[in-house]
Amino acid sequence: EPEVTQTPSHQVTQMGQEVILRCVPISNHLYFYWYRQILGQKVEFLVSFYNNEISEKSEIFDDQFSVERPDGSNFTLKIRSTKLEDSAMYFCASNIHHSNQPQHFGDGTRLSIL
Amino acid sequence: RKEVEQDPGPFNVPEGATVAFNCTYSNSASQSFFWYRQDCRKEPKLLMSVYSSGNEDGRFTAQLNRASQYISLLIRDSKLSDSATYLCVVNNQAGTALIFGKGTTLSVSS
């Protein structure tokens, strides 16, 4: 069964450094998403992306965050200047059509900010 | 009112038990509803979509009451492997994001 893949599985970064999290969505999917989950808390929506533009973003997704689809397969999340509170699991997801189709999640990147 | 609200549990049940989880959501414009399952420190995995008419998948039955903005999940004949956190999920009004509940933890013991 096709799956969403994410790299790296664990990223440790010094506060203030830039970090890029990578995702390869399922190949025929058109809608891409990033979510985060702080330890012990619920999964929170960050951003959705379609046709090379952001469809929607949450208030968490401030100017420090950006997304890009640099080629036909990768979908990246960049955090420009990391803060301690950015430590979380970051999940990428994709689906064929956004409205009523379930989203399929990658196995996540654990981001630890020191 | 929280967007998606669930009883956090934990629910501790013996193998073979029937267990029910409930969920309420605040946005009456939500159109899509799901139950996801999350194992410890893993990604959410789709368990089932929830339809207005109710739907069943093996031992799992989901119900939706739009008037009450209420979703339920029933698990029959619980297995040890059902131990996980069950996430109630709805989409936002635009359909561009999923909104998650905090999850209900189930522990099935032998």
Backbone φ and ψ of A60, nearest 5°: -70, -35
pLDDT-flagged residues of chain A (< 50): none
C-alpha atoms less than 13 angstroms from C-alpha of B47 in its C-beta half-sphere: 27
- Answer yes or no: do B103 and A42 touch at CB < 8 A: yes
Give the model's pLDDT for residue A98: 66
Q: Provide the 3-class DSSP secondary structure of residue A15.
A: coil
Q: Residue B2 corresponds to which amino acid?
A: K
Q: Which residues of B touch A48 (CB under 8 A)?
A: 96-97
Structure tokens that stand for A20 in this block: 């890029």
What's the pLDDT band for B15 if we cut at 50, 70, 90? very high
Residue/partner pairs of B53-60 with CB below 8 Å, 24 or more apart: B60/B35
A76's enclosing H/E stretch is: strand A75-79
Average pLDDT over residues B39-55: 93
Average pLDDT of chain B? 94
Give the model's pLDDT for residue B92: 87
CA distance linking residue B85 with residue B87, whole number of Å: 6
Give the model's pLDDT for residue A45: 97
Nearest to B43 among A41, A100, A107 (CB): A107
Nearest to B95 among A89, A93, A99 (CB): A99
Give the model's pLDDT for residue B37: 98
- Answer yes or no: do A91 and B43 touch at CB < 8 A: yes
Question: Which tens digit of pLDDT belongs to each residue from A31-47?
Answer: 999 999 999 999 999 99
Give the model's pLDDT for residue B84: 97
Interface test with A, best of B6, B27, B96 (most A CBs within 10 A): B96
A45 touches B at CB < 8 Å: yes
Question: Which tens digit of pLDDT belongs to each residue from B62-77?
Answer: 999 999 999 999 999 9
A62 touches B at CB < 8 Å: no
CA distance linking residue B59 with residue B88, whole number of Å: 17
User: Of the given ranges (A105-109, B87-91, B92-96), which has the lowest mean pLDDT?
Assistant: B92-96
Residue ranges of E strands in B1-110: 4-6, 11-14, 19-25, 33-38, 45-50, 55-57, 60-65, 70-75, 84-91, 98-100, 104-109
CA distance linking residue A45 with residue A65, whole number of Å: 13
